[in-house]
A and B are shown apart, each in its own frame.
Chain A
Amino acid sequence: MPAGWLHNLRLRIKALGKRRQLDRDLDDEVAFHLAMRAEKNRAGGVEGAEAGYAAQRQFGNTTSMKERSREMWTFVSLESLWQDVRYGARLLAKNPGFTVIAILTLALGIGASTAIFSVVNSVLLRPLPFPEPDQLVRVWEANPKRGYVRNVVNPLNFLDWHEQNRSFGPMAAVAGGSANFNHGKAPITVPALAVTPEFFSVLGVAPLLGRTFTDDDGIPGHDERVILTYEFWQEQFGSDPAIVNRPIQVNDAPKLVVGVLPKGFAVPNMKASLWLPFAYTRDSDFAKSGRYLRVVARLKSGVTMTQAQQDMERVAAYTAQVRPDYNSGWGAIVNPMLKDVTSDVRRPLFVLFSAVGFVLLIACANVANLMLMRGVRRSREIAVRTALGAARARVVRQLFVESLMLASAGTIGGIAIANWGLRALLALIPEASHLPRMESIRVDSAVFLFALALAFCTTVLFGLLPALRLSRVNLHDTLKQATTRGGLGGNRTLRQSLVVAEIALALLLSVGAGLLLRSFQRLTAVDLGFHSDHLVSMGVSISRVKYNDPPKQARYLERLLDEIRQTPGVRRASTTDYLPLASELISGSCFAFGTAEPVNSATAPGSQFLIISPGYFDTMGTPLLSGRDFNERDTLKSPSAAIVNQAFVSKYFPNGDALGKQLGVCWSVQNPVQIVGVVADSRQTKLKDAPAPAIYLANTQAPLAGATFVARAAGDPQQVLRSIEIAIHRVDPDQPITEVRTMDSVFSDSASDARFQVVLLVIFAGLAVALAMIGVYGVVSYSVGQRTQEIGVRMAMGAAATSIARMVLREALLLAVLAVVIGLAGAFALTRLMEALLYETTPTDPITLTAAAVAVLLVATLAALIPARRAMQVDPMVALRYE
């Protein structure tokens, strides 16, 4: 026999195109049988019509028989699913208001979640774009007692680490930040990093052209070489394949291009267009003191993080033993690279992701409520279908299919919103953001899978519950009711619980947004210690070839400053080596009270060190509290002067007698230095960090590494910035100028991450409140609709319209108050997680909690007002005739 199922399938498929024919055949066959039977009955003596009835009785239920045969001939389960889909689509199309609101709500929830997820995925979850990314680590020095958890590394210590560790394959150190590049036109300053030879082996990156660095490039004198990124090569050299082995001018010296990196090469938190060798030995002057290297390494296969950590502790103990004056108290810490580079953004992203998850939950609750309310209107339909023999599973499936259709439409809309939202989000993330791996943020397959998973979960959340509930109708009661206003008392509690949950979640989000808002307000109102308005700044990086010794550099800077001071629109100008709020890397070093013995850097107290020109405080608008500013009498020949800030005085001279004291400092100036002045505190690295003790030295006495000019403008700052650029180029047309900006924008950038978080959370909270408002409105207006008759009776009995409104509002308020209590409890439990994001704001800030609670109550009342008004306008006559 032919394989049975194949034969079966062939017949079925043949039947598929001939549904009508099949039905007619079935009818004919039954009719023939009945006719024959009736004939026989008549022959047997049964009279007239009775013969036909008897035949029918003997045959049994013709419909059921046909149904069974038809099922056999067709793909019935698939077809009935298709039926459900078509039926669902018809219903949804017939009720466009409901459909649009449901889809829009879901699309917003899914879209926002997906957009945030694509950021979370790209930044936190997706592995680093290097081979075996789990083996990549960052290694830091650490001095927990002094509060340095992830500290940059001393070059000598790095050499010891490199030689003595047993856990890592390649290990490399990274230094520097920028370089001047000269390509025939005016020189420009470009991001550049200097790396020890194994850097690219650590990452496992092969060059596109040429080679990466070898050990030879790490030998001083052999290091006049450079590697270009693909993008820089394309932009500056038109992707010239002959670039390898040609010299280019970097920092006014020819450097041989040894290689070009592959397209898209990017190391998180290490931005560079040029990669230079960092060549040094134990004898190099700059290697002996200072901690400034960032270290990357690759674990040997089979070595765990714990083993590597223990190994590095052993090596650090060794460095502390051989150079105790520099290293005692210092250990080492090993972090997985991905975790390390994202450590600052983990918490904020987590908070945002949770927030958007709450929005999605609210959206689901809302749609579930809509489904329930609509379902009540359909309870008769469902009851009739059940009475006619529809299985409960079939009814549930029908409802579930509808939910699935809504969710699918919502997901498609959601993905569109996510795409658009992500673009808006990326535009919102400022250049100055500390978000690592931003370049990799995109919608990828993981994001699509996430959206699909969301679609499915939301369907279960908002679809299954109502479907199960609605399919359990009480046939008798439902069918008995004359109107379509169904009983289903249990649904009321369910609907109200959903609304309570919505309001509670919305309150939670509002509290979160409120806390961030308040924190942001305090952060941006912080006393900077200087006046940022009309303050402008720009950086110059001085050519070490043209100005090859410190006195020449100092004279050059002095000439530039003179030229700037004479520029129209400039009221004051000075230089500093560190622009407040512009960078998180600030020089720190040690000092000693008194001058008797050399400073032991391992045990001596620490302070920030800043090198400024006379008049700096005047330019910045930082008040001098006592003593004097630097002046032209502070020269290399005179004793070194120092100015300290108030934080320094409070910490080290609590009696306020700092002025005139002598300090030994670990800095290349003539020791000792004498404190000649005290200034007010300024914010330095981060807006939210309280000012730390700082020692200012005069650039006339301490050599300046790089220089940033600050100037106070009389007129339009942008205009003044242009004038200053022209002035600088009058002195040296080849001088590259970087970081041209107003201090207001520096200030604004320093608050950008906080602003970004606030904006997003406020948007999410707004969405949440709006959705909850729709939820309240829906439930109250539905309940008013249900009670029209009751309201009519009350009014007919003489109840005042206002008391009716009060009744309606009371219901809404009761729900809202319950929700607020739950929401506040949730806030107490959850806002702790936001603590790291808050500035001088406690997670349970009573004002924020109160304000959010009041706002949510108000909004809930507002949402109930419209149905309450409708209740007041009920015409008793109409309402009573309604039945």
Chain B
Amino acid sequence: MPNKKEPGDLLQGTLDLLILKSLARGPMHGYSVAEWIHESSQDVLRVEEGALYPALHRLELRGLLSAEWGTSENNRRAKYYALTAAGKKQLAEETEYWRRMSGAVARVLQTA
């Protein structure tokens, strides 16, 4: 299931990977995930912030994330997401895949 790659899933897959990566640093709520993506990708990946939540829920449903409600730094009710074991494994696989993929693309572009 984790390695199911379908054409057209690239963007969704990318978003999933970014979410997993962001959560590798520890549990955080959706807003922080969005902020982290903005900052770490230097605003290159412009994601409509609303699209983040269906992705989070999908990952939760797939068992890659766990979620629980907590209180935020400014004392508001917020939902915190964390990587599960399956999520960590998935992140490792995805990272490896991307590394190989981008390496291959880079080589192709160099030889051209």
Interface residues of A (CB under 8 A from B): 1-2, 4-5, 7-8, 11-12, 25-26, 28-30, 32-33, 35-37, 39, 58-62, 64-65, 68-69, 72-73
Q: Which of B31, B51, B58, B69 contacts A36 (CB 8 A)?
A: B31
Q: B61 touching A65 by the CB < 8 A rule?
A: no
- The CA-CA distance from A30 to B89 in the complex, in Å, is 29
Does B49 lie within 8 Å of A68, measured CB to CB?
no
Q: How near does chain B come to A397, taking the closest CB pair, in angstroms?
A: 24
User: Considering the complex of A and B, which 7 residue pairs feature the smallest CB-CB distances, nearest first?
Assistant: A1-B86, A60-B50, A65-B50, A60-B48, A7-B63, A36-B31, A68-B54
B70 CB, nearest partner CB in chain A, Å: 11
Q: Bound complex: CA of A64 vs CA of B53, how far in Å?
A: 11
Question: In the complex, which residues of chain B have a beta carbon less than 8 angstroms from the beta carbon of A2?
Answer: 63, 86
Chain A residues lying within 8 Å of B48, measured Cβ to Cβ, are: 58-60
Q: Across the interface, do A32 and B49 meet the contact criterion of CB distance under 8 Å?
A: no
Contact with A along B49-72 (1 / 0, CB 8 A): 111011001101111100001001
Check A32/B57 contact, CB under 8 A, given A1-B89, A58-B49, A60-B48: no
Choose among A59, A64, A73 the residue with the greatest number of B CB atoms under 10 Å from its CB.
A59
Which stretch in B13-21, B75-83, B94-102, B103-111 binds the other chain? B75-83
User: Inside 8 A of A69's CB, which chain B residues have their CB?
Assistant: 53-54, 57
Do B51 and A33 touch across chains, with their CB atoms under 8 A apart?
no
Q: B49 touches which one: A4, A12, A33 (CB < 8 A)?
A: A33
Task: Give the shortest distance, in Å, between A672 (CB) and chain B (any CB).
Answer: 102
Q: Which of A1, A8, A30 has the most CB of B within 10 A?
A: A1
Question: Could you say which residues of chain A place their CB within 8 Å of the CB of B50?
Answer: 30, 59-62, 64-65
The residues of A that contact B74 with a CB separation of less than 8 Å are: 39
Contact status B72-A32, CB under 8 Å: yes
With A60-B48, A72-B58 known as contacts, the answer to whether A32 contacts B63 (CB < 8 A) is: no
Q: Evaluate contact between B53 and A30: CB separation under 8 angstroms.
A: yes
Q: Is A1 a contact partner of B2 (Cβ separation < 8 A)?
A: yes
Chain B residues closer than 8 Å to A28, beta-carbon distance: 77, 79
Interface of A is mostly: helix
Q: Are A32 and B62 in contact (CB under 8 A)?
A: no
Tell whether B24 is near chain A: CB-to-CB under 8 Å: no
Which residues from B are CB-within-8-Å of A32? 29-31, 72, 76-79
- Specify which of B1, B2, B29, B53 lies most central, judged by the most chain A CB atoms within 10 Å of its CB: B53
Given contacts A11-B60, A58-B48, A60-B51, 14 further A-B contacts (CB under 8 A): A1-B84, A1-B89, A2-B63, A5-B1, A25-B79, A28-B77, A29-B79, A33-B31, A33-B34, A35-B76, A39-B74, A61-B50, A72-B57, A72-B58
Q: Which residue, of A5, A29, A35, A61, has the highest number of chain B Cβ atoms within 10 A?
A: A29
Within the assembled complex, what's the spacing in Å between the Cα atoms of A4 and B61? 8
**How far does the alpha carbon of A32 sit from the alpha carbon of B29 in the complex, in Å?**
9
User: Which residues of B pack against A, CB within 8 Å?
Assistant: 1-2, 29-31, 34, 48-51, 53-54, 57-58, 60-64, 69, 72, 74, 76-79, 84-86, 89
Instruction: Name 21 interchain pairs, CB-CB below 8 A, sorted by A.
Output: A1-B2, A1-B85, A4-B63, A5-B1, A7-B62, A11-B60, A11-B61, A29-B53, A30-B50, A30-B53, A32-B29, A32-B77, A33-B31, A37-B49, A39-B74, A59-B48, A60-B51, A64-B50, A65-B50, A65-B53, A65-B54
Q: Which residue of A lies closest to B30 (CB)?
A: A33
Q: How far is the CA of A65 from the CA of B72 in the complex (A)?
A: 22
Output the least CB separation between A48 and chain B (Å): 19
- Residues of chain A with a CB closer than 8 A to B54's CB: 65, 68-69, 72
Chain A contacts for B89, CB-based, 8 A:
1
Given the complex of chains A and B, what is the CA–CA distance between A65 and B79 in angstroms?
16
Q: Which residues of the partner chain B approach A72 to less than 8 Å between Cβ atoms?
A: 54, 57-58, 61
With a cutoff of 8 Å between Cβ atoms, the chain A residues found around residue B69 in the complex are: 25
- The minimal Cβ–Cβ distance linking B86 to chain A, given in whole angstroms, is 3
The interface residues of chain B lying within 8 Å CB-to-CB of A5 are 1
Q: How far is the CB of B95 from the nearest CB of chain A, in Å?
A: 17
Q: In the assembly, what is the distance between CA of A35 and CA of B74, in Å? A: 11
B75, chain A: closest CB distance, angstroms: 11
Partner of A59, one of B49, B58, B62, B64: B49
Q: Bound state CA distance, A369 and B5, in angstroms?
A: 50
**Please, which residues of chain A bring their CB within 8 A of the CB of B31?**
32-33, 36-37
Shortest C-beta distance, A828 to chain B (Å), equals 60
Q: Quick one: which of B2, B31, B60, B86 has the most chain A CB within 10 A? A: B31
Q: How far is the CB of B15 from chain A (nearest CB, A)?
A: 13
State in angstroms the CA–CA spacing of A33 and B1 once bound together: 31
Alpha-carbon distance between A33 and B48 when the two chains are bound, in angstroms = 13
Q: Could you say which residues of chain B place their CB within 8 Å of the CB of A73?
A: 57, 61
> How long is the Cα–Cα vector from A68 to B78 in the complex, in angstroms?
20
Contact across chains for A8 and B62 when beta carbons are under 8 A apart: yes
Interchain CA distance A578-B84 in the complex, whole Å: 98
When distances are taken between beta carbons in the complex, the residues of chain A under 8 Å from B84 are 1
* B residues in contact with A33, CB < 8 Å: 30-31, 34, 49, 53
A640, B65: Cα distance in complex, Å: 114
Q: Please, which residues of chain A bring their CB within 8 A of the CB of B86?
A: 1-2
Residues of A within 8 A of B49 (CB): 33, 37, 58-60
Q: Nearest CB to that of A63 among chain B residues?
A: B50
CA distance A26 to B30 in the complex (A): 12
* Nearest neighbor of B4 in chain A, beta-carbon distance: A4
When chains A and B are docked, how far (Å) is the Cα of A1 from the Cα of B59? 13
Which residues of B are found within 8 Å of A26, using beta-carbon distances?
53
Q: A693 CB to closest chain B CB, in angstroms?
A: 88
Q: Are B61 and A12 in contact (CB under 8 A)?
A: yes
**Given the complex, which residues of B lie within 8 Å of A62, measured CB to CB?**
50
Distance in angstroms from B12 CB to nearest chain A CB is: 12
* Residue numbers in B under 8 Å from A12 (CB-CB): 61
Distance from A638 Cβ to chain B, minimum over Cβ atoms (Å): 109
> What is the bound-complex CA distance between A494 and B78, given in angstroms?
58
> Which of B29, B31, B50, B84 lies at the interface centre, i.e. has the most chain A CB atoms within 10 A of its CB?
B50
Closest-CB distance, B85 to chain A (whole angstroms): 7
Residue on A with the closest CB to B76? Answer: A32
- Note all chain B residues with C-beta closer than 8 A to A7: 61-63
A residues within 8 A CB of B1? 1, 4-5
Chain A residues, Cβ within 8 Å of B29: 32
B83 → chain A closest CB, angstroms: 12
Q: In this complex, what residue of B is CB-closest to A39? A: B74
